[in-house]
Every structure is written in C-alpha cells, then in structure tokens.
Amino acid sequence: MYAIVKTGGKQYRVEQGQYLLVERLPEPEGATVSLEPLLYRSDDTVFDAKALARVEVSAKILSHERGPKLRVFKFKPKRGYKRRTGHRQDLTRIEVTKIGLRAARGAAAKEESDGS
C-alpha cells in the first residue's frame, strides 16, 4: 500500500513508516500534518477526486533542517565578470505515520453501501 502525495510543489511516493525530507513546513517539531493525496494504491487504485477525499495521509514532523550549501558561480570570459553566491534550502524531516481510507459517515455511508 502506498500513496502519491503533494507537498512543497513536489510529488512524493510514500509508504507507511517512511522518512522523508520535504520543503519547510510551518508547523513546529512533533506536530502531525496531513498531506494532500494525489493517488492511493492498495488492492485497488484510487485517483478520482471524490474517492481521494476519503484518503488520509498523515505524517509527524521530526525536525527542521537545512540542506547542503550550493555554490553558484557566474563567469563571463574576457570581461572580468565573476560572481559567487550560495544557497541553503530549508527542509523538514517527516515520518509518514498513517495511510488509509477514512470511514464513510452517516447518510453518505448508507448511500454508498446501497449503491454497491
């Protein structure tokens, strides 16, 4: 069982218990966040919007980190132009704690079971 989730403008294939480095999330360490599922796969595949509303993917924030330093160097020959800059991306380490379907509620649950 796995899911494709979207966070920070990127898509990740996640399984329960997996550790992941994603772009910085605003919640504090130890908080539980809900990730937006794009696809859910177990015995059958779910990727339509109505069924994805029932899919729950939650993760626990373990720590906030910074990525490796990237050096950016610009150079134009014969002109004496050199520029050096750097960048470190802010990242969040998460652990996927739960992937699954939520139980249908109330009348909607009866309609789905009657329609099957």
Give the H or E element holding residue 113: helix 106-115
Residue-level pLDDT at 47: 75
What is the DSSP annotation of 8-53?
TTEEEEE-TT-EEEEEPPSSPTT-EEEEEEEEEESSSEE-SHHHHT
Query: What are 30-57's pLDDT values in tens digits?
Result: 999 999 999 888 887 877 888 888 889 9
Q: What is the pTM of this model?
A: 0.76
Q: For 70-114, write each residue's pLDDT tens digit.
A: 999 999 999 999 999 999 999 999 999 999 887 766 545 555 555
Does residue 7 have a pLDDT over 90? yes
Pairing of strands 19-23, 10-14: unpaired
Amino acid at position 15, single letter: E
Q: What is the largest CA-CA distance in the chain?
A: 77
Residue scoring higher pLDDT (22 or 43): 22
Domain count, the chain: 1
Residue partners of 28: CB distance under 8 A and separation at least 6: 61
Bridge partners of residue 100, in order along the sequence: 56
Q: Which two structure tokens, joined as six digits, stand for 74? A: 């610009």
Residue 103 belongs to what domain range? 2-115
| Cα gap 62→73, rounded to integer Å | 34
